[in-house]
Every structure is written in C-alpha cells, then in structure tokens.
Amino acid sequence: MAFEGLTERLQNAISKLRKKGKITESDVKEVMREIRLALLEADVNFKVVKDFVKTVRTRAVGSEVLESLTPAQQIVSIVNEELIKVMGDEATPLNKSPKIPTIIMMVGLQGAGKTTTAGKLALKLKNEENARPLMIAADVYRPAAVDQLKVVGESIDVPVFEMGTDVDPVEIVRRGLALGREKKNDYIIIDTAGRLQIDEKLMDELKNIKELAQPNEILLTIDAMTGQNAVEVAQGFNDQLDVTGVVLTKLDGDTRGGAALSVRTVTGKPIKFIGEGEKSTDLDVFYPDRMASRILG
C-alpha cells in the first residue's frame, strides 16, 4: 500500500513520545531525527525534508508543547499541519476558460499515465458537469497510443479526434481544435507524446503545441512510483513548459510517497488530481489535508 513504510515509521517515532508524558527538548530532537529519516527513506526531496524538519522542530520546542499534558498529540498536530502545508494547503481547482472551450494539454513521460488520465478527466467532467469534451490524439510516436485513446473514448462515450500516426502532431492539434470549436465542445483535452526521458525534440514539439493551443491548463502527469526521479521529471517539464498543475498517478501502488510531498515545493505547482487505479473512474481531486491524514495513518 502507498505510504506504508512512511506511516509506520512516523507512528513509531511518535508512539515513543506518548509513553513519556512530559517531554524535553532532547526528546523533540530525537523524534525529529526519526521523522527526518522516515521522510528521506520515503524518497522525499532532501531540501523539502530539511525545511520540513526545521519548521516542525521550531514549533515543537515551543513552551506550549513542552509544558502540555499531551505533548505527543501536539506534535502529531504540528506534523499534520506542516504536511498539509508542504502539499499546498488547499485543493486547487482546474483552470477554466471564461468562454468555451477550456483547453487542457496532457504532458509527461511515456508510461506515466497521460492517455489513461485524459480519459479519466474527460469522464469526470462529463459526469460532474455534464460536459461535452473532445479528446485529441496527438501522441503519434508511442505504438498504439492513438488506438488506446480511441478505445478509452469509446468506453466513456467521448469523441476522439485523430489523424493516425503519419501526420505532424501540431497539425493534428490545429485541426482538432478547429473541430472542437465548430462542434462547441466545452473541453478539449490534448493527449501529447511522451518519451522515456525528457529530450529536446519532445520539448520543442510540446512548446509548439502549447504555442498553438494556448491551453488554460497544462497538466503534467507523473508516476508516483518513480520516487525522486518523478520530481526531477516534474522540474524538467516545468522549466520548459511552465505547467499549471500536476496529476500524480499510481498512488494505488506501493509508492513510498516522496513525490506527493516534494512536487509542490520543488516546482511551485499544485497537484490537482491523483490517479488511484487503472479504471476510468479512478481519478480524484487532490486534497492535501486528506493526504496528510492518510500519511499519518
């Protein structure tokens, strides 16, 4: 299960304090050392860990905590609050265009879950807003990506614009946008190509699509299972494309959780959705407070 190791280690660290009743500054120091190790082991970015530990420690050695009759409980609250803060405080809604269509561009490495997430998002908009999305298949490099999006589209009854795999993706997007505007689709979701790693050609193509489509939202899909690497990827895409939000996928797997805690601080961009399964309905809005509760167990 996701966060299993992190949850267990945080709980262990804090349960030692519970046995003590009143605590001293050196008890705080000891528990912070364990929390620091727990976070590092969960693949949380080094700098994020450092700042997090410093903030919690400063708050925890305050007289209110040390003199409290329930110091362990107070420290749990502080950790909880700081976890929420590090993940962005509040849920961040999807950016929408004041007039239709809202254009959403999906970007990310191959295998991160872009195509799947495009379908999940389309279904969510359909179910929750009665929206009429159109999806554009602009991933012409990955074998079968176009077909995959078509299959997804059929299963959720959302139209897919495609021109096969022999046409320039920018041209596909141009035509897809024109069709969406003509048909008055309220959302247009562009599925773009990924690579196994970030490369210049991929970025140039994505920049060209961005330039053309002027999307309201550029959602970077990252695979939570890839740990530290996920955060580097996020940084790379953000530097080049100035993304507007992140979708963290595969949180149903046994991810250690580092990406969830690092992405916001490292990129400054909010996690907007989380993917928790392979089905079209497995997409949820990201709530930092719920995630913090889940991490603390």
- Reduce the DSSP state of residue 173 to 3 states and report it: helix
Q: To the nearest whole angstrom, how small is the minimum distance from the Cβ of residue 213 to ligand GDP?
A: 18
Determine if 210 is a binding residue for ligand GDP (CB under 6 A): no
Q: To the nearest whole angstrom, how small is the minimum distance from the Cβ of residue 180 to ligand GDP?
A: 20
- DSSP 8-state secondary structure symbol assigned to residue 157: T
Q: Please, which residues bridge with residue 218 across strands?
A: 105
Q: How far apart are CA 28 and CA 17, in angstroms?
A: 9
The closest alpha carbon to 18, from 79, 81, 77, 75, belongs to 75
- Reduce the DSSP state of residue 72 to 3 states and report it: helix
Amino acid at 146: V
- DSSP 8-state secondary structure symbol assigned to residue 243: -
Closest CB to ligand GDP among residues 116, 216: 116
Residue with tokens 């362990």: 72
Instruction: Provide the mask over 227-266, with x wherever binding to ligand GDP is found by CB under 6 A and - wherever it is not.
Output: ----------------------xx-xx-------------
Determine if 277 is a binding residue for ligand GDP (CB under 6 A): yes
Q: Is 219 annotated as a binding residue?
A: no
Closest CB to ligand GDP among residues 249, 262: 249
Minimal CB distance to ligand GDP: which residue?
Answer: 275
Q: To the nearest whole angstrom, how small is the minimum distance from the Cβ of residue 150 to ligand GDP?
A: 13
Closest CB to ligand GDP among residues 71, 258: 258
**Which positions from 107 through 146 interact with ligand GDP, judged by CB under 6 A?**
108, 110-116, 142
Q: Is the distance from CB of 140 to CB of 193 less than 8 angstroms?
A: yes
Q: How far apart are CA 112 and CA 127, in angstroms?
A: 24
The closest alpha carbon to 185, from 121, 132, 122, 125, belongs to 132
Annotated binding site: 108-115, 191-195, 249-252
Annotated binding site for GTP: 108-115, 191-195, 249-252
Q: What does the binding site for ligand GDP look like in residue numbers (CB under 6 A)?
A: 108, 110-116, 142, 194, 221, 249-250, 252-253, 275-278, 282
